[in-house]
Amino acid sequence: MNIEQIYTGCLAQGAYYIESNGEVAIIDPLREIDPYLKRATADKATVKYIFETHFHADFVSGHVSLSKATGAPIVFGPNAVTSFDAIIAKDLQEFKVGNITIVVLHTPGHTMESTTYLLRDENGKNHAIFSGDTLFLGDVGRPDLAQKVGEITEKDLAGFLFDSLRNKIMPLADDVIVYPAHGAGSACGKNMMKETVDTLGNQKKMNYALRADMTKDEFIKEVTDGLAPPPKYFPLNVKMNKEGYDDIDVVQERGTTPLSPEELEVLANETGAIVLDVRHQNEYVKEHIPRSIFIGLNGSFAPWVGALIADVKQPLILVVPEGLEKEAITRLSRVGFDHTIGYLKGGIKAWKAAGKEIDSLRSISAEDAKAEVLKNNATIFDVRKDTEFEAEHIEGAKSTPLSVLNSHLAEFPKDEPFYVHCAGGYRSVIAASILKSRGIHNLVDVAGGFAAMRTADMNITKFVCPSTL
C-alpha cells in the first residue's frame, strides 16, 4: 500500500493517490490530471475509483476529466446529485482497491453530501481517514456553504457536523492518520494548522472542535462565530463540480492565443475582457497597461482572482512573463476561470514598442511614508485581514480588507494623497490596481508593507487581551 498526498500550496489543497496491488484510488483530484495518470503508469497500475469528499466550492476538481481519461467511476457520498454518471454511495458502503478497503462514512455538516473515507489496510485495521472539509487539522469545515434558503441554516449544518464528528470520527482509534482536503490559507475554515498530516489522537487533544466536554450548543456557537463571508465564486465552482466542465487542454488552447497590442485593445473593447497582469508586483509598480488589474502569480493567485473578479465567465487577457502562459491559465482554471482569451505577446515591452500608453504606481519606502504621513496628516488604509488589523496596526490607520475593498470605495479621499499597505507588499498592489481601475489615482503604495513600517518605527497599536488589563 502506498499513500501519497499531492499538496498544492497556492490553493492549500491536498489530493490523494492511493495504490495497492496494481489498483489506484484518487481522492479529490485537481483539474490537471496528467500527474495522476503518469504516476499510475509508472506504478503499472490502473485507476479503479475516483472519490470525491463533497462538491468543492474553492476549486474545480478533476473528477470528470480523470474519469473520462481512465474509465474509472466517480464516487460521491449520500445526498449528492450530479449531471454526469457517478456512484452515489451509501453510508458504510465498502470499495476494494487492491488489498485495501475504503469505507464510506457519511459525515454531513460542511455540506449535506460531505463524506469521510476510512481506509482499512491489508489486515482490516483502520489506518487513515480522508476527511475532506469535515475535519481539518486544528479546525473543521465551515457550515455556511450549503444552505438552502428557508430550509437548512448554517446552525443546522453545524449541528449535523457536531453529530458527524462525535458519531463517525471521534470513536476511531487515536493512531488513525488524518488526511484533510485543506491546510492553512484555505477559505474553507478559520483556524487551520500549517501541517497537512496528523494523527486523530493529536487532533482530539488540540482541535477546539473535538473537545470531549463540548456541548452541541457550544460547538455551534464556536464553529459559526467569526465566519468571514465566503468568496463570491464559491457557488460557481460548486455548480461546475456538479455539472461538469471543459477539459483543461481545451481551456489552455483557448487561452494561449498570442495577441499583438492592437489585437489586445480590440478584443478587450469587444468582449469587455479584464486585462489581468500576473507579473511580480515590483514590475507592475514600475509600468503597466492603464486600467489593468494586478494579481501576481507569486502570491495566492487563484484564490484572489476568485475573490476579487468573482464571475468565472468573465473574459480575461493576460500580461504574463514569457513561458508562464500555461501555468497562469492552469491556475485560473483550478478555480473555474476558463475564459482566458489570449495573452499579450512580447509582454509590456511590445506594448511600449507599439507606442501605447503606460501607467505606473507610486510606491515609496516605509521611512518616506512615515515622513509624508506626518507632514500631510494623510490617511493610511490597511488592506490586510480584519484579524491581522485587530492584532496590531499603524496608529490611526483604517481597516479596508482587500477581500471587501469594493465596499469601501466611498471612504477613499478624492483629491489628497492617501497611503495603502498590507503585510509585505503583494496585496497592497492588488488593491492599488483595483482603485486605479475605478479612477482613484491619488494613492501611494507603501513598499514592504506592515513589516517595513514596523522596522521604520511607525506608531503601532497592539491588541491587549482584556484579561491582562
How far is CA 294 from each of CA 121, 289, 378, 443, rounded to the nearest angstrom? 48, 10, 25, 15
Give me the domains of the chain, ranges plus CATH numbers: 2-235 (3.60.15.10), 247-353 (3.40.250.10), 363-466 (3.40.250.10)
**Residue 305's closest CA among 442, 415, 403, 190?**
403
DSSP assignment, residue 24? E
| Residue 262: all three cell numbers together | 492592437
User: Coil, helix or strand for 68?
Assistant: helix
Distance separating alpha carbons of residues 342 and 344, to the nearest angstrom? 7
Check residue 231 and give its pLDDT.
87
**Hunting for cell 483539474 — which residue is that?**
31
Q: pLDDT digit of tens for each residue in the chain (469 aa)?
A: 999 999 998 888 999 999 999 999 999 999 999 999 999 999 999 999 999 999 999 999 999 999 999 999 999 999 999 999 999 999 999 999 999 999 999 999 999 999 999 999 999 999 999 999 999 999 999 999 865 545 789 999 999 999 999 999 999 999 999 999 998 878 777 778 889 999 999 999 999 999 999 999 999 999 999 888 888 899 999 999 999 999 999 999 999 999 999 999 999 999 999 999 999 999 999 999 999 999 999 989 999 999 999 899 999 999 999 999 999 999 999 999 999 999 999 999 999 999 999 999 999 999 999 999 999 899 999 999 998 999 999 999 999 999 999 888 999 998 899 999 999 999 999 999 999 999 999 999 999 999 999 999 999 998 755 544 4
In 301-416, which ranges are continuous DSSP H helix?
Answer: 301-309, 325-334, 347-353, 366-376, 386-391
Task: Report the alpha-carbon distance of residue 282 to residue 445 in Å, rounded.
Answer: 11
**CB within 8 Å of 232: residues ≥ 6 apart:** 306, 307, 310
